[in-house]
Amino acid sequence: MHQRKIGERQVGAIGLGCMNLSHAYGHPPAKDDAVRLLHHAFEIGVRHFDTAALYGFGSNEKLVGEALKERRNDIFLASKCGMTGVDGVRVIDGRPETLMKTVDQSLQHLQTDHIDLYYLHRWDKTVPIEDSMDAMSKMVQQGKIGEVGLSEVSADTLRRAHAVQPVAAVQTEYSLWTRNPEIALLQACSELGAAFVAFSPLARGFLSGGVEGTDAMAEKDIRRGMPRFQEPNSSANQALYESFRQLAAEAGYTPGQLALNWLLSQGDNIIPIPGTRSVEHLEENVKAAEINIDSTILARAGELIDQNSVAGERYPAATQAEIDTEEF
């Protein structure tokens, strides 16, 4: 796989987001199936695996740790702190003492003595970002983590954090239908030498054709509460997808591959981490890093789906209030 850079490490142009193997999209797959997918990802060249303390309230880290412990020296392992499950409830807590406790739990869950990249999953707005970053800096000094990352932050917060401890990567939602990073964050990452790790690069399945509306979703699927998957937005977006599907067919690739290739073309520091439970989709996603789609097709894709054509906000109001990203 083509390589890109996070800090001083070379990683594949496409990584694997592991969240949906344990969290947020209804019933998770059987453990054996999840382990099999993680092993297959490694076999076909994936080395960058992304998890978090929040996912499955620790169970995703345990899954990844157990599945990949024999391959630990050959992978780039990323996880996150600052948002965890407490008594069954998702809690954002960026206090230094909480972060230090969480990293020790993550190391135990992941069955490793260090984590290559550790993100502050959310900025806790009740705690100065400088205080949280000071704790992250101590983790680096102690050898518990290799690099520090941030998730869902603004360019201003990134710069404040970077002044305390160099930030190697910023992880935020970015895809054809979520273009918020283009306001200021992509430029800030380039200026500071930080990689941009794009989560939900396939728009939570929308850009690969796997979403038809909330009625077909599992009861605990996180997308049920997202405006873009609710009517009347869902029908409007599905019509938009049909035009996108036709454009992908014209290019000779799948819609998901067109979406990922478009994202890779936006900058050499951009690293998508699509998640999947399907071996078929996994292989399709990885191949997107090796194809070359004509620039005119990519430009048409970017004009067809953007912040002006997509119907609905990406998050409900309560969730939006928790994050720090710039918004159109």
**Distance (Å, rounded) from C-alpha 173 to C-alpha 241?**
19
CA angle 241, 307, 247 (to 5 degrees): 30
End-to-end CA distance of the chain: 34
Residue from 188, 172, 107 nearest 146 by CA:
107
Could you check whether the bond before residue 232 is cis, i.e. omega within 30 degrees of 0? yes
Q: How far is CA 230 from CA 241, 297, 316, in A?
A: 15, 29, 11
Structure tokens at 54: 């929040």
Closest CA to 320 of 166, 152, 167, 105: 152
Where residue 166 falls (left for φ over 0; alpha for ψ -120 to 50; beta otherwise) is: beta
Mark 24-47 as b/e (b = at least 16 C-beta within 10 Å).
bbeebbeeeebbebbeebbeeebb
> Of 55, 119, 253, 315, which residue is the catalytic one?
55
DSSP class of 318 = H
- Can you tell me the distance from the alpha carbon of 259 to that of 82, in angstroms, rounded to the nearest whole number? 30
Active-site annotation holds for 55: yes
- CA distances (Å), 145 to each of 106, 269, 324, in order? 11, 21, 24
- The answer to whether 46 touches 14, Cβ cutoff 8 Å, is yes
Catalytic residues: 55
